[in-house]
Amino acid sequence: MNLETLCENLIACGLRSWAVWLLPFFAEKQGYKPGRPTVLCLSRSHFFRDIAQLRRLTNINWIEIRSKYISIMQSDLVDMKKLPIEKAQTFYCASQHPDVVAARKLTDAWGAKMLARLRSAIRFDAVMTANTDYALEDGIKNACVHAGVPFLVLSKEHYVSGWLKDLRVGDYTRAGFKFNGDGVALFGDYTIPTLTETGACPREKIVVTGPPRLDVWRDVKLAEHGRNYITLISFSKGYVVESSFTETLHAFARASAANTNPEVEFIVKCKNGDDKKQVVRALQDTPQHRLKIVIGTPLHEILAQSRLVMGLNSLALLEALLSGAKLCLPHWGDARRDSHDLVLDPADPSVAACATFVPSPQEFERLLLDYSLKADPLPDPQPRWDILRRFFHLPKETSCSAEVERWVLSHLSQRTR
């Protein structure tokens, strides 16, 4: 029996306190050095990649506990689906409905117990997460505020399309959400107005550091030859283009089955396990495909080996600009949207010079088969960097990780004055 299953069984038997006592044993301390400032990270998908670079490039210890273990400790404590709120994220943290307030008292109490247990077993100076408003981390956040432990957010959310910004502005406004932690670091300027104009977070709590995950590209050497992946970055859920994604995936699957080049692999890069399940379900009608569906492989490793990348409206697709791959986006059906809703807009000449907007699934399939047989030469990287810098803060003289380190240390020094 593994530790996760043991905790689940303890909670099922009414022994939640025993499970919480085991929480420090989930901590991952890769690269830990005594005497350094230490940050405890509640990690989630994508945030792992930022933590990896922060460990590599800074003089801070980054201890990691996966957020799912925090969720396990609170399993069966509160049924978010039965609460009178639109959705758990944002609304749980802010609602003043008596049922939600009562639920928060429970999660706050157990958040305080989890924090106390972690502090008794692990020395750390601050807690960091990747969301300002994640419901299942709300109890620990409030416990940190009460105990005087800096609670910092390196936000994995970056609202670079108009529809996503509008969505989040609506959520923050309707919920009346107010971030009560110590500080938020953003990947770029785009997200500042979403937080400040809604009152979700005051400007003085916000810094822009850029995404540490992109620091890895400083050391990636792109090869002219041997780029044998054709990659689809999943956009199966949360992009409001479900029908276009299904058509894209099916065309991708058909091309993989028709591919005659044994050196080329067709890769579907998924965000997480739920995304992979959705992709697998969508492929049930195309059983003859030869797709490799991956989760854990670092995105930069896949992109650096790709000759063609297809995606839509995601930070991962923007990252693909750093690769030598041909960049493709669906531009049919529900993916053919107004400029306001697009991250990369075909009406922008500089974007159109770096990316191909594909008008139909049939044209996409033809393009895939063409690129299974040949790859373009590596492109001039400068125009791609110029586009990327519109969306991300990417310092030229230092790294994003160094900027995060400077920000963290400034918060720690304030607590020692």
Q: pLDDT tens across 373-408, in order? A: 999 999 999 999 999 999 999 998 899 999 999 999
Only one residue has tokens 């697709």, namely 317
Residue pLDDT, tens place only, 339-382: 988 899 999 999 999 999 999 999 999 999 999 999 999 999 99
* Radius of gyration over every alpha carbon of the chain, rounded to an integer in angstroms: 22
C-beta separation of 364 from 232 below 8 A: no
Q: Any idea of the CA torsion for 238, 243, 248, 254, to the nearest 10 degrees?
A: 130
State the pLDDT at residue 75. 86
- Of these ranges, 102-106, 162-166, 235-239, the one predicted with the greatest mean pLDDT is 102-106
Rounded distance between C-alpha atoms, residue 80 and residue 136, angstroms: 10
Is the pLDDT assigned to residue 238 strictly greater than 70?
A: no
pLDDT tops 70 at residue 133: yes
Per-residue pLDDT averaged across 330-334, rounded?
A: 91
Q: For residue 256, is pLDDT > 60? A: yes
| Domains by residue range for the chain, with CATH | 3-211+395-416 (3.40.50), 218-391 (3.40.50.2000)
Quote the pLDDT of residue 236: 76
pTM over 0.85: yes
What percent of the chain stands above pLDDT 70? 98
Q: Is pLDDT above 70 for 416?
A: no
Structure confidence at residue 417 as a pLDDT band (50, 70, 90): low
Per-residue pLDDT tens over the stretch 16-42: 999 999 999 999 999 999 999 999 999
Residue bearing tokens 């550091």:
209
Residue 48 pLDDT:
93
Q: How confident is the model at residue 117 (pLDDT cuts 50, 70, 90)?
A: very high
Q: Supply φ then ψ for residue 63, to 5 degrees.
A: -85, 135
Indicate the pLDDT class of residue 14, thresholds 50, 70 and 90. very high
Residue 158: count of CB within 10 angstroms of its CB: 18
Distances 11 to 61, 78, 323 between C-alpha atoms, Å: 31, 13, 46
Asked if residue 147 has pLDDT above 80, the reply is yes
3-state secondary structure the chain: CCHHHHHHHHHHCCCHHHHHHHHHHHCECCCCCCCCCEEEEEECCCHHHHHHHHHHHCCCEEEEEEHHHHHHHCCCCCCHHHCCCCCCCCHHHHCCCHHHHHHHHHHHHHHHHHHHHHHHHCCCCEEEECCCCCHHHHHHHHHHHHHCCCEEEECCCCCCCHHHHHHHHHHHHHHCCCCCCCEEEECCHHHHHHHHCCCCCCHHHEEECCCHHHHHHHCCCCCCCCCCEEEEECCCCCCCCHHHHHHHHHHHHHHHHHCCCCCCEEEEECCCHHHHHHHHHHCCCCCCCCEEEECCCCHHHHHHCEEEEECCCCHHHHHHHHCCCEEEEECCHHHCCCHHHCCCCCCCHHHHCCEEEECCHHHHHHHHHHHHHCCCCCCCHHHHHHHHHHHCCCCCCCCHHHHHHHHHHHHHHHHHC
pLDDT mean over 208-219 = 96
